[in-house]
Amino acid sequence: MTEQKFRFLSFKDWIPDPLRFWIYILFLLAFQFSNGMYFSAMSQMSGGLSLTMNDVKMLSYAMLMGQTMFFPLAFRLKFRFTNRTCLLSAACGLALCNLIVPHVHNLLALVFLCFVGGLIRLWGTFECLSTLMPKIAPTHNFALFLSFVFFIVLGVINLFDLICVRIIYYYRWEYLHYTATILLGLVFLAAYFIMQPHRIAPKMPLLGLDGYGFILWSAFLLLLIFVAQYGNQLNWLHSPYIRAALGAAAMAFGFLLIRMNYFRHPFLDISSFRSKHLTVILWLFLFLGILLEAKSVLQNIFTGGILQFDAINLSTAKLFEFAGSLAGAVTCWFALSRPNRPYKLMTFIGMGAVIFYTAAMYFLVSPQTNLEKLYLPLFFCGFGHLVIYITLTVYCQAVTPFKNFFQVLCILGLIRTGIASPIGDAIYSRAFDGLISKHLATLTGGFNATQMQLQAVLGAMRELFGWSVVFGVMLLVLISLAHFKEGATKSFLSLKNFYKKYSASEQNP
């Protein structure tokens, strides 16, 4: 009954009700397709903009950091501006980022543009998702809503990667940005002509936002990412750049501690770090992010350098990862919708699926491996990735105080995308280089130089996948020993009720 009565009031009256939901879905897909930096075009961007691969990875992490830093601002912007204004601003800003990036060759400027692009991208995505929530989960069941959210954010991106690879293959990497600009232009025109200003609640001013805290947190995380990404290239503490970055990060963190303790409305309140059971969730996200870098680092070397698959063939494997993500989202949709939610069991299953991927890759490291043998491991990797992300985030909502929830989401993002991925990349890259040297030293005669290099690479890769399995099993033991508060989560509030409690928490912290 609730679902039948719900209407999207931000559209003009002549737009039929059945179309309004799908228009928002199209808006959402357009924002998800559009980035300031495209992972599928990393190698092409490296050559086109005269950047190293470390530079391009730095840009990708800056984009992810921009998305993460948006969470504490999310509802402040939604309650300050109308739906139409948010969509127009996000579409216009992200389109400008896409137009500018291909023509900029300064690394610092590109990092800034990618950070802003990620921030604006999540603004548009959040506006669509928060508006769709009453339709997707009419009973305000947060587990259902998050299953949809993570499938769109982490699952559908595999299909977009497949499309991006084909655009790059047949045209040029700049065409990705032009395609995104056209899509965002269509979003802008549609929002301008078929939508009307609409508010779900009275306007809330932006007073009290901690702009200095936002800048300090952003600088602190970007400096840590810089150290993790360039440390090996610059020889760690022997480089004055690494020492300067660590010193600046330490100063920024010191100022952040002062603001969190003495500023009335800090960007991230210190009470958010004290949320019940948050420590366990943060450690699990950190370890998962490090473990998943085996896929980003080792699999890319294996499929591109050893098996020499081209981008078109590799993109077909994304379909199986997409299928795994869909299966994970559907599994969470049903398992976490029950009155008693098995958080520990679902986390255990998700981590087990990721470990299955690493174990399968250990046995598949061979020059004779064909692409079809990678389909099943990638399916399980996509499945486990989604299951863990959905389960832990739903659990976080269950144990986190209401006023801190979106700040805690930001903290989770800082760990899983801002710290875990760069640290995992640095660990696997450093270990891979060291193990190649070790295996080259142990090889005896009977091989020429090319064969020795190949055998050393295969041996190092197999050993790292083996250690990843061991690390994963240790995580399973940690999950089995961890205490999870079993039971149902609190119902997620409607946006109007959310506004009342959110505004009350802002006025009476």
Number of domains the chain contains: 3
* Residues 225, 162 share a domain: no
> Residue 363 has what pLDDT?
92
For residue range 192-219, list pLDDT tens digits in order: 999 988 877 777 777 777 888 899 999 9
- What is the model's pLDDT at position 5? 59
**Residue 41: per-residue pLDDT:** 67
* Banded pLDDT at 101 (limits 50, 70, 90): confident
Tell me: do 313 and 179 sit in the same domain.
Answer: no
Identify the residue with better confidence: 486 or 209: 209
**Per 3-state DSSP, what percentage of the chain is helix, strand, and coil (rounded to 5)?**
80, 0, 20
Question: What pLDDT is attached to residue 24?
Answer: 92
Say if residue 444's pLDDT is above 80. no
Query: Residue 198 and residue 83: Cα distance in Å, rounded?
Result: 6
pLDDT confidence band for 160 (50 / 70 / 90):
confident
Residues 365 and 431 in one domain: yes
- pLDDT score for 9: 84
* Same domain, yes or no: 144 and 203: yes
Instruction: Identify whether residues 214 and 197 lie together within a single domain.
Output: no
- State whether 153 and 249 are in the same domain: no
Q: How high is the mean pLDDT of the chain?
A: 84
CA angle 129, 131, 135 (to 5 degrees): 95
pLDDT at 494: 53
Check whether 414 has a pLDDT greater than 90.
Answer: no
User: Do residue 305 and residue 422 come from a single domain?
Assistant: yes
485 vs 146, higher pLDDT: 146
Q: Decide which of 240, 266, 292 is a domain's last residue.
A: 266
490 has a pLDDT exceeding 70: no
Q: What is the pLDDT of residue 1?
A: 36
3-state secondary structure of 195: strand
Q: Is the pLDDT of residue 36 over 70?
A: no
> Containing domain of residue 454, as a range?
271-509
User: Which tens digits make up the pLDDT trace of 22-33?
Assistant: 999 999 999 988
Clarify whether residues 158 and 300 are in a common domain. Answer: no
Position 121 scores a pLDDT of: 92
Q: With cut-offs at 50, 70 and 90, classify the pLDDT of residue 260.
A: confident
Give me the residues paired with residue 11 across strands: 195
Q: How many CA atoms are closer than 13 Å to the CA of 36, on its beta-carbon side? A: 35
Percentage, residues of the chain above pLDDT 90: 29
C-alpha to C-alpha distance for 25 and 9, rounded to whole angstroms: 16
What digits encode the pLDDT tens for the residues 328-385?
999 998 888 777 778 889 999 999 999 999 999 999 988 888 888 999 999 999 999 9
CATH code where residue 436 lies = 1.20.1250.20
Share of the chain above pLDDT 70, in %: 91
Mean pLDDT of 38-48: 69
150-163 b/e (C-beta count within 10 Å ≥ 16 → b): bbbbbbbbbbbbbe
Residue 269 has pLDDT above 60, yes or no: yes
For the residues 299-321, what does the mean pLDDT come to?
Answer: 83
Question: For 147-171, what is the mean pLDDT?
Answer: 84
CATH of the domain at 202: 1.20.1250
Q: Determine the average pLDDT of the residues in 246-253.
A: 94
Task: Note whether 292 and 262 are same-domain residues.
Answer: no
Mean pLDDT of 454-469: 89
Q: Which of the two residues, 487 and 287, has the higher pLDDT score? A: 287
Give the torsion sign (CA, 153, 156, 162, 167). Answer: negative
> Predicted confidence band at 489 (pLDDT cuts at 50, 70, 90)?
very low
Q: Which residue has the higher pLDDT, 469 or 142?
A: 469
